[in-house]
Chain A
């Protein structure tokens, strides 16, 4: 099997390249944006760097020529909304347009996000599996989730229009290997305090080693058209994580129950509107509800491919939280 990994220099990309090489993929190409004279230090010695831009049909076609799977991980997490959309959705559209012109296009494994689900309303009795509704107000979410929503919609449209073999993997919050799991689903660190906003809702974590194991399997085994949730078993609660963070960072834990958070967000939104955006507050009530509404996450479909996530929270959490 031969693979091309876009976003290969990123947190997941670097580790996926290593995992594919370790799993004896015959050829692993790591896409980098610019020509470098020296080999990137993060790149596994058995992987091949290929210089290509997703938006450039010629260079990307060359990079993807002859591969069985394109793992599409490239995406910007932060920045101005227009840049995040351009980087995730527009670049994907260009990339897929290029692949659609190939006589035998490779399978595309797109790494998407739980951010595309409509999680602002409570549905603890309904498992958040692949049938769960997708967002109907994506523009009201954070720029990354909005961009991922547009990216996925574009990818499915291309798959249907051009018969591209597409697999979409929606991942929760990726952590591990030096990256702690205290995301906005848990709260924020403010000076000597941990502001815990997520109440007792489960946080859909996935350890990066489980992520790359899953992606490797998906590349080999998932049928075209598959949609898969990627989340570890037994997700911890936001409270558990916030307490662990406060202990590790010797910080004071300040817990704000979600209803109070929603009320504060409402007030701040009103101020933002009244002040014509003078002090934009990124956490709107809708975004807060999307993050802090409890859900029961389901990963059964991915397990049918043979994925068996390791339980790493107990052993790794302390290590990633240590400053």
Chain B
């Protein structure tokens, strides 16, 4: 298969590196950016054969099987439709587009074209997310009754710095700013465990100092018929944690995405004074086992930062090759789009934020 990429900013590096690990499935043949220097720099650094400034020309000349869209979200819908109309499968960076209406339009275009679409919900394919799924599937948690997702954002990190220092950064033009650009990860971790297609959503938000950037602290409660969920997105809490906890009728499991460990609460809940004294050691042992597993993965070179992205892309290209369903169900993407719109609407109605493009 032949792949091309459009949008040669920072995240494009991760895509090209991840694709480099999937050379048995596909190879990247060209990149494109409206800014010729950006296209050139990416092509030169990763020895990519050709680079373009015109997307249509790239599609016409390269005839790719798949297109990765890593341009700013405002361009996703137009680029996505163009690629689908040329018969390409689509891998789109999150957020899918800039509004629910456009999200639905792109999903509809993908359905109508019978080409596959994947969106960069990479954490859902992180090894620790798989471990959490295994724990649920094994029945150790019993029935899941509540899902809690915590997503901390470090404004001092590479991505945060780029957005906060650049007054003209595209993230500032998104409805919801930085929150809009990151909430997909938090919501996907809830969406997977909340089957209700139209849940009730309660939102409480507080704006952190950079109002124009949209750096929020937001708390969510998502109520479904069978289960409930809650989430916290925070730009101010430190360290910037990233965890999902599933509360089950038998046990509770926490997946820590930063440390890539899965811990079960039952190992720390023992009766009697002696039991309480021993519990921390039992939990330590569990963490040590998780650490040892991570070390083994490190030794096998399976512990990179974007491991989830590699796994997602692998499943995306395997789905294309085998004609199976795309790795992320479109219904789930639509669920996230609906809840995102509710969250932003709530924040606007609370006066926490207003859209001032």
User: B20: shortest Cβ distance to chain A, in Å?
Assistant: 7
Docked complex Cα distance between A286 and B167 (Å): 36
| Complex: A55 Cα to B37 Cα, angstroms | 14
| Secondary structure class of chain A's binding surface, majority of residues | helix
Give the interface segment out of B40-48, B50-58, B133-141, B193-201.
B40-48
Q: Are B301 and A90 in contact (CB under 8 A)?
A: no
Bound-state CA distance A138–B45 (Å) is: 9
**A86, CB-defined interface residue at 8 Å:** yes
B77 within 8 A of A: no
Judge whether A276 and B41 touch: CB under 8 Å.
no
Say yes or no for A252: interface residue by CB 8 A criterion. no
Q: Which residue from B9, B45, B161, B298 sits with its C-beta under 8 Å from A278?
A: B298
B289 within 8 A of A: no
Report B156-180 residues with CB < 8 Å from chain A CB.
158, 161-162, 167-168
Q: Given A139-B45, A154-B37, are A83 and B10 neighbors across the interface (CB < 8 Å)? A: yes
Which residues of the other chain, A, contact B17 by a CB distance below 8 angstroms? 276-277
- When C-beta atoms are compared, the residue in chain B nearest to A278 turns out to be B304
Q: Are A83 and B37 in contact (CB under 8 A)?
A: no
A79 located at the interface, meaning its Cβ lies under 8 Å from any Cβ of chain B in the complex: yes
Considering only residues 275-318 of chain B, those with a C-beta below 8 Å from chain A are 298, 301-304
By the criterion CB–CB under 8 Å, are A81 and B41 in contact?
yes
Q: A186 near B: Cβ within 8 Å?
A: no
Interchain CB contact under 8 A, B37 and A93 = yes
Q: Which of B193-233 contact A (CB under 8 A)?
A: none
In the complex, whether A205 has a CB less than 8 A from a CB of chain B is: no
Question: In this assembly, does B108 line the interface, its C-beta being within 8 Å of a C-beta of chain A?
Answer: no
Closest-by-CB residue of B relative to A94 is B35
Residue B192 at the chain A interface, CB threshold 8 Å: no
B42 contacts across to A, CB distance below 8 A: 82
Report the minimum CB–CB distance from A55 to chain B (whole Å): 7
Give min CB distance, A144 to chain B, whole Å. 13
A33 CB-CB contact with B under 8 Å = yes
Q: How far is the CA of A187 from the CA of B8 in the complex (A)?
A: 32
Q: Which of B119-150 contact A (CB under 8 A)?
A: none
A118 nearest CB across to chain B (Å): 15
Cβ of B168 and Cβ of A85 under 8 Å apart? no
Kindly report which residue of chain B lies nearest to residue A33, judged by CB atoms.
Answer: B167
Minimum distance in angstroms from B302 CB to a CB of chain A:
8
B13 at interface (Cβ–Cβ under 8 A)? yes
- Given A81-B45, A139-B44, do A276 and B38 touch, yes or no (CB 8 Å)? no
Give the distance in Å from the alpha carbon of A138 to the alpha carbon of B41 in the complex: 10
Additional 6 contacts, C-beta under 8 A, given A53-B167, A79-B158, A278-B302: A34-B167, A80-B158, A82-B13, A146-B41, A276-B20, A277-B304
The 6 A-B residue pairs whose C-beta atoms are closest, nearest first, are A275-B301, A139-B44, A80-B10, A278-B304, A85-B41, A82-B10
